[in-house]
């Protein structure tokens, strides 16, 4: 990677692509027959539908289950979950949600009756208590979920025993006080990504969930590399806007600086084990 960075911006694109690890649809049976473009389309993070399939497995999705796709962006994952697992998905996002567009996408995919687009803020969810059988949250939870009061709020909407699965970029350990600047991509948002151990403690301390798993995804490095590979395969850096080129360079520098898997992906699975206690925050906050 270092040698390619020295060539930047006149990088040998084919050689750089060849240097990056890759994943194929055959690695997850549920992705059979999907193209790489479909696996990555409109997903804002590394791993694409590879990561989504692993999260779906963790949730044990079964036809008919009610799933909250929290901060779903444009709703790609909601359509995928509905189509591949036969679940009903309420797709919630406050910024990127175009309800009409997502409804049409779901319709075109043959799951119009299974996907409900909802433009809403994560702290103002318009659902009945104990409505959901599962919560799926990809590349988003750190934007709002580091608030100690958020998880008890969210859990009001899920049934006892329901699972929540959070997947997102993370650091293997907490950032040191003096981190290498290459590790701070998307600063200051990256300060909220945290380590699996931090997230475990954050979830466990409220005493109403059982954390079944909070780990660095074992294929994290491949997720990063395959995602960059897909980026480079579909776009020539020469044709990118300066901002995109800068973003690509930042991620290449990040991976080059990370020799030992410090930059990773969180895979957290927790199960609601007790009702949230009534508390002042339920009235004064969310
Ligand atoms: C990086 S994108 C990930 C989108 C999608 N889950 C994916 O992986 O492609 C983060 C998403 O979180 C949403 N988001 C952030 N804060 C939110 C909040 N407080 N309420 C609802 N959505 C939020 C943003 O609108 C954005 O669509």
Residue 141 Cα to ligand 1 midpoint, Å, equals 8
> What is the model's pLDDT at position 12?
87
**86-90, 235-239, 260-264: least confidently modelled range:** 235-239
pLDDT (average), residues 136-146: 97
pLDDT (average), residues 182-198: 95
Residue 272 Cα to ligand 1 midpoint, Å, equals 23
Q: Which of 56, 91, 95, 99 to mutate to test the pocket of ligand 1 (most atoms within 8 A of CB)?
A: 95
Class of the 30-220+261-273 domain? alpha beta
DSSP labels, the chain: -HHHHHHTTS--HHHHHHHS----GGGSGGGTT--HHHHHTT--STTHHHHHHHHHHHHT--TT-EEEEET-TTSHHHHHHHHHH--EEEEEESSS--HHHHHHHHHHTT-TTTEEEEE--TTS----TT-EEEEEEES-HHHHTTSTTHHHHHHTTEEEEEEEEEEEEEESSPPPSS--GGG-TTTTGGGG---HHHHHHHHHTTSSEEEEEEEE-TTHHHHHHHHHHHHHHH--GGGS-HHHHHHHHHHHHHHHH-SSS-EEEEEEEEEE-SPPPP-THHHH--
Residue 92, pLDDT above cutoff 70: yes
Residue 202 Cα to ligand 1 midpoint, Å, equals 20
* pLDDT band per the 50, 70, 90 thresholds, residue 282: confident
pLDDT tens digit string along 1-38?
Answer: 777 777 777 788 899 999 999 998 889 999 999 999 99
Residue 93 Cα to ligand 1 midpoint, Å, equals 6
Q: Which of 42, 76, 93 to mutate to test the pocket of ligand 1 (most atoms within 8 A of CB)?
A: 93
pLDDT (average), residues 214-228: 97
> What is the model's pLDDT at position 40?
95
Residue 73 Cα to ligand 1 midpoint, Å, equals 5
pTM exceeds 0.85, yes or no: yes
Closest ligand 1 atom to Cα of 44: 9
pLDDT tens digit string along 226-260?
Answer: 999 999 999 888 888 999 889 999 999 999 999 89
Residues with CB under 6 A from ligand 1: 43-45, 71-73, 93-96, 121-122, 138-140, 143-144
């Amino acid at each position: 990677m270092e040698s390619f960075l020295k060539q930047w911006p006149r990088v040998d694109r084919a050689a750089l692509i060849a240097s990056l690890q890759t994943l194929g649809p055959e690695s997850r049976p549920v992705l059979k027959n999907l193209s790489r473009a479909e696996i990555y389309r409109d997903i804002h993070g590394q791993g694409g539908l590879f990561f989504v399939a692993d999260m779906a497995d963790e949730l044990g999705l079964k036809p008919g289950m009610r799933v909250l796709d929290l901060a779903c962006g444009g709703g790609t994952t909601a359509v995928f979950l509905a189509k591949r697992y036969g679940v009903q998905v309420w797709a919630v996002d406050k910024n990127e949600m175009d309800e009409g567009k997502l409804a049409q996408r779901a319709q075109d995919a043959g799951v119009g009756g299974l996907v409900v687009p909802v433009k809403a803020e994560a702290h103002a969810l318009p659902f009945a208590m104990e409505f959901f059988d599962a919560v799926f949250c990809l590349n988003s939870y750190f934007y709002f979920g580091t608030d100690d009061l958020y998880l008890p709020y969210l859990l009001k909407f899920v049934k006892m025993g329901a699972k929540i699965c959070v997947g997102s970029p993370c650091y293997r350990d907490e950032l040191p006080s003096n981190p290498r600047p290459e590790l701070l991509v998307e600063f200051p948002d990256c300060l909220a990504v945290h380590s699996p151990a931090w997230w475990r403690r954050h979830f466990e301390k409220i005493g109403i969930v059982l954390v079944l798993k909070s780990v660095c995804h074992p294929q994290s490095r491949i997720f990063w590399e395959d995602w960059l590979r897909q980026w480079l395969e579909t776009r020539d850096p020469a044709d990118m806007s300066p901002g995109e080129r800068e973003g690509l360079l930042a991620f290449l520098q990040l991976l080059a600086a990370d020799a030992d898997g410090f930059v990773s992906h969180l895979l957290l699975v927790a199960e609601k084990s007790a009702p949230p206690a009534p508390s002042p925050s339920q009235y004064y906050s969310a």
